Amino acid sequence: MSRVLVVEDESAIAELISINLRHAGYEVTTAATAEEAQAAIDAVLPELVLLDWMLPGQSGIALAKRWRSQVRTRDLPVIMLTARAEEADKIAGLDAGADDYLAKPFSPNELLARIRAVLRRKAPEALDSVVEVGGLRLDPSTRRVMRGETEVRIGPAEFRLLHFFMTHPERVHSRAQLLDRVWGDHVFIEERTVDVHVKRLREALEPVQCARMIETVRGAGYRLTHPVQALSR
Ligand code: CA
């Protein structure tokens, strides 16, 4: 389930957005100030943030700029919400690093469509689309992994891990990044947890000869790769 952080000081609007997002299957956390938002991010990295521009104290713009400047939050998908529909404001929002910009009032359907569009671009593991890499086929909606006609038996944590690897192939991910992107938490979960689940994932992939797709990159982390020649049937 994808986590969305809603940063909005007007409680009625925050509530309305939350209800719509929960109805659409998202897990929602809310924050009413920049400080609360930062605390929420420090605890659990969400898949996406809806960020109100006008907040008491520090503005949404300042917050977005700070997130863009820090390694952990650099790629965090952010949609800016604002009551100001002028073009100059829109440009300022996008310049601050927002991925999209939505002027209030907006319809719930438009909000959901914008969220899906940003996730498709920046966090495809948060969507239900079928992914195929190197003969492996993963379907998030049915939670099944197949290679040809053979189903891969896999636990829920390994499924999420494999989903993330398959939507970001050939890139090296550190243990801290995997904790953030797969578990949402790089602070309270130990990095060794990643190693345990990678080991289980390889064991699950062994019967379909795909264990070698998960490579250990010494001193850096893990990477999913698909050396086609190694996958003889
Ligand atoms: Ca506001």
What is the mean pLDDT of each successive set of 10 residues along the chain, which is 233 residues long?
93 96 96 96 95 92 95 93 80 89 92 95 89 94 95 96 95 94 84 96 96 95 78 46
Query: What's the CA-to-centroid distance between 54 and ligand 1, angstroms?
Result: 4
Sequence ranges of the chain with CATH classification 1.10.10.10: 131-232
DSSP 173: B
Helix, strand, coil shares, percent, the chain, to 5: 45, 20, 35
Q: How far is the CA of 83 from the centre of ligand 1 (A)?
A: 8
pLDDT at position 113 is 96
Predicted local distance difference test score (pLDDT) of residue 95: 87
Q: Give me the residues paired with residue 150 across strands.
A: 147
| C-alpha 35 – ligand 1 centre gap (Å) | 14
The pLDDT assigned to 230 comes to: 46
How many A from CA of 193 to the centre of ligand 1? 39
Q: Which two tokens stand for residue 220?
A: 């850096």
- Determine the distance separating the centroid of ligand 1 and the alpha carbon of 33, expressed in angstroms: 9
- Strand, coil or helix: what is 175? helix
Q: What is the pLDDT of residue 229?
A: 47
Cα of 9 from ligand 1 centre, angstroms: 5
Cα(122) to centroid of ligand 1, in Å?
26
What lies within 8 Å, CB to CB, of 17 at 6+ separation is 6, 8, 28, 50, 111
pLDDT given for residue 231 in this prediction: 46
| 59 Cα to the center of ligand 1, angstroms | 9
Strand boundaries in the chain, DSSP class E: 3-7, 27-31, 48-52, 78-82, 100-103, 131-133, 136-139, 144-147, 150-152, 214-217, 221-224
The pLDDT, as a whole number, for residue 189 is: 84
**Ligand 1 centroid – CA 73 distance (Å):** 22
Whole-number Å distance between alpha carbons of 56 and 145? 47
CA of 103 to the centre of ligand 1 (A): 12
Domain topology for 131-232: Arc Repressor Mutant, subunit A (1.10.10)
This prediction's pTM: 0.84
| 102 CA distance to ligand 1 middle (Å) | 13
Distance CA(96)–CA(221), nearest Å, equals 30
DSSP string, 30-51: EESSHHHHHHHHHH---SEEEE
Domain with CATH 3.40.50.2300 in the chain: 3-121
DSSP 83: S
**CATH code for the domain defined by 3-121:** 3.40.50.2300
